[in-house]
Chain A
Amino acid sequence: MIIMTQEPLDPQALTRAIQRDTNGAVVTFLGVTRRYSQGKEVRHLEYEAYLPMAEAKLREIVQEVRERWRIEDIAIAHRIGRLSIGETSLVVAVASPHRQEAFAASQYVVNRLKQTVPIWKKEVFADGEVWVDAQEEPSPTHATVKPKE
């Protein structure tokens, strides 16, 4: 199941949609918009997609998961348009008989999506906006200083 939508995502509905009684493990990943990016406060985000190609690339990822882990029960939903902080931009739900495959496959989907799917995120700050270059972003191990909450 692949969904690209401007509507708010419903992780519970997506998780329910892929669940079958042959699955003992269900892993649901949520990508959520953060308040801070590179030390600056984000006002809101905008996601844009090259829709037909994004859907095609997501279908390819689903096929890769199917071939690699023999997992059939998978849902990927990505929101586009304007999102406020704290909203969910991505839901990946994966179910399998045992947990190892579900964990591995869901991580694979998230990482792969970030490499190949033509979707772009724009961060809007008080003093400007920038289309994020995910390949240039500091890695999580080099955290920038955040203002105190």
Chain B
Amino acid sequence: MKLQIRLFATYRDRVGKDTFALDVEEGLVVSQLAQRLVASFPSALPPAESLVVAVNQEYAEPSQTLHEGDEIALIPPVSGGCP
């Protein structure tokens, strides 16, 4: 099944892309996807356990199952508002 991966801020700068499609097997869960992405881009992403993942614009649990067409965003530590 196809997933859309979106990157922002540090992750986008380090990986060099702001979005890409990924083909994965049915039934994949968020933690497995995180491990796979971290393995693909080891110097760009934190350890998989620390990676914050949003699925369809909601923060996702590691055990959450992914579905065809899901929009995945890798969320670096946020810094909105003001210091």
Binding site for B on A (CB under 8 A): 31-34, 37, 47-50, 52-54, 56, 78, 89-90, 110, 113-122, 131-137
Contact = CB atoms under 8 A, between A and B. Distances in A.
B73 A31 contact: no
Interface string B41-83: 0000000000000100111000000000000010111111111
Given A48-B9, A52-B57, A118-B54, A135 B80 contact: no
Contacts of A89: 81-82
Contacts, number: 83
Q: Is the interface of A mostly helix, strand, loop or mixed?
A: mixed
Contact of B54 (A34, A50, A135): A50
B77 A135 contact: yes
Contacts of B80: 47, 49, 54, 78, 90, 113-114, 117-121
Contacts of B73: 50, 53, 118
A133 B82 contact: no
What size tier do the contact residues of chain B reach?
A: 10 to 19
7 contacts: A33-B82, A90-B82, A114-B78, A116-B59, A121-B80, A131-B9, A134-B79
B13 interface: yes
A50 B79 contact: no
B9 A110 contact: no
